[in-house]
Amino acid sequence: MSAPAEAPGAERPALPRRANRRQSLGAAALVLVALAVGRFVTDRLPTDELATRPFERHVSVGQAAHLRIGDVTVTQVRGAPEVSTTTQLLTTPGIWLVTDVRLTAASEALGISYAAVRSPDGRTWTAARGGSTCAAPLPGVPMACTVYLDVPPEVLPGAELVLRWNNIDLRNDDQAVIRLDDVTPGKVATWRTATEPILIPPSRTGA
Amino acid sequence: MSTADPQPPTTPTAPTTSAPGAHATASWWRRQRRGLLLLPLAMVVALLASSSRVHLFWWPSGPHDRVTGSVGAPVRFAQEWVDKAGTHQRKLTVTVGTPEQTTEHEGLTGGAVQVTPPNGSVLWRIPLTVEADPSVVLFGCKVALIDARGRTFTALDPGLKSGRALKTQQCVPAMQLGPRPVVYQGMSQDQDTLNRPKNYQTFAYVVTAADARPSTVRLWWDYPTVIEVSLTP
């Protein structure tokens, strides 16, 4: 049995159309509110730079920084205008900051490939001209090695040394930050007058 | 005046339809059922579409494709690899024996060389029995020992003290290195190499911490595909 045909000219009831419009407006309002809440939240979240900054382990000279890659201890800090590696003599009008490091890798042969000096005024000098012999350690076996970098002498008092394994991606991973408390202006002045280069030996595993 | 029959009294009955709100909700679910069914599929597609970083950065950078085996049992391995000469197949069967501690290392030109491992470490010798066509490039193989604590020991510059140069190619016999990868245009794959037999035995060497108890031998050329042989029965 067919449904009765609507009479010609008859209008559909107005109420459902109004209800549909109200529903659409309500949905649009909800979307706008959701967008506003999202913006409010994201504006208050840390920026990428802050959220991915490295985890810093602050220690003094002689103290071990327990990093993901293993334990890193700076055992001695020296300085001179010249250093001598196994292949070349390097000189600078500034200071070669030379740090003796004891590295005990945790579970993989990950060494130290990033070194930087951070001065109290927030500037950073990386080891672009320097280097690290702390490479390919044996997990669980201490390695004696050296990290050296070229810096202006005036930034050393009150500075910090930053050491980490990865020099390409500085996000998220942890790093050792060593306070150079003993590096006084008097000590830096003495280093500037040194006439003998500091020797940079190859690393020694099992030291 | 008509005299119609009296109508029976109306008996109240239960309503046959649900409340208007419930009806609207049910019809909404019915109207949206196609979209709702497709929603999980859309989520999976969105995840797959955003997974390129996993493939580009994570998968090829580590030992994520493992061909596993047991100590003393042959392991078949096949891998496609690329050098300047084109695409090649690396097919071989390798049997990994039980590692044993030693103070002798094979020399660069063969023969045994007495070595002293660094303090706090020991040298392990891992027997390898290999079957591969002599034209297959096995040069550049890397070997690692993984201990029960999950520490990975590779054969990178272990600081061994010795009186003579030591063998550096882990998976091929000294002086029988076989063909090498072509690393620059114009280089021949078999340049400066000696013939390698189809079947041979050799040793790989790895230095570990003295307290390491090896549980797995890992052997590989190019990540992500590696051979992992368990040392525990």
Q: Is A206–B157 a contact, with Cβ atoms under 8 angstroms apart?
A: no
> What pLDDT is recorded for position A156?
95
3-state secondary structure of A33: helix
Question: Are B208 and B124 spatial neighbours (Cβ–Cβ below 8 Å)?
Answer: yes
> What pLDDT is recorded for position B156?
66
Could you say which of B117, B156, B209 has the minimum Cβ distance to residue A140?
Answer: B209
Q: Å from A203 to nearest chain B CA?
A: 9
> What pLDDT is recorded for position B223?
94
* Bond into A197 cis (ω within 30): no
Q: Tally Cβ neighbours within 10 Å of residue B218.
A: 20
For chains A and B, CB pairs below 8 A equal 53
Chain A residue with minimum CA distance to B208: A138
What is the rounded distance in angstroms from the CA atom of residue A116 to the CA atom of residue A130? 10
Model pLDDT for residues B187-202, shown as the tens digit of each residue: 766 555 568 999 999 9
Query: For residue B11, is pLDDT > 60?
Result: no
Question: Are B119 and B185 spatial neighbours (Cβ–Cβ below 8 Å)?
Answer: no
Q: What is the pTM of this model?
A: 0.78
Pair of tokens at residue A95: 């200071």
Chain B residue with minimum CA distance to A203: B159
Distant-in-sequence, close-in-space partners of B132: CB < 8 Å, separation ≥ 6: B91, B92, B93, B138, B198
Chain B residue with minimum CA distance to A204: B159
The C-alpha angle A119, A124, A130, rounded to 5 degrees, equals 110
> What pLDDT is recorded for position B27?
85
Q: Is B154–A109 a contact, with Cβ atoms under 8 angstroms apart?
A: yes
Best of B25, B119, B123 to disrupt the A interface (most A CBs within 10 Å) is B119
> What pLDDT is recorded for position A21?
87
Beta bridge partners of B101: B124
Closest by CA position to A134, among listed A182, A74, A88: A74
Q: For residue B152, what pLDDT band results from cuts at 50, 70 and 90?
A: very high
Q: Å from B75 to nearest chain A CA?
A: 26
Burial A92-116 (b: 16+ CB within 10 A, else e): bebbbbbbbbbbbbbbbbbbbbbbb
What is the rounded distance in angstroms from the CA atom of residue B9 to the CA atom of residue B210? 102
Residues (pLDDT < 70) of chain A are 1-15
Model pLDDT for residues B156-183, shown as the tens digit of each residue: 667 888 888 899 999 999 989 999 898 8
Query: For residue B6, is pLDDT > 90?
Result: no
Question: Are B69 and B96 spatial neighbours (Cβ–Cβ below 8 Å)?
Answer: yes
Amino acid at A98: V
Model pLDDT for residues B102-119, shown as the tens digit of each residue: 999 999 998 999 999 999
Chain B residue with minimum CA distance to A69: B151
**HEC-encoded secondary structure of A178-201:** EECCCCCHHHHHHHHCCCCCEECC
| Chain A residues within 8 angstroms (CB to CB) of chain B | 106-109, 135-136, 138-142, 203-207
DSSP conformational letter for A174: E
Model pLDDT for residues B115-151, shown as the tens digit of each residue: 999 999 999 999 999 999 999 999 999 999 999 999 9
What is the rounded distance in angstroms from the CA atom of residue B231 to the CA atom of residue A131? 39
Q: Is A138–B121 a contact, with Cβ atoms under 8 angstroms apart?
A: yes
What is the arithmetic mean of pLDDT over B20-36? Answer: 82
Model pLDDT for residues B47-99, shown as the tens digit of each residue: 988 888 888 888 999 999 999 999 999 999 999 999 988 999 999 999 999 99
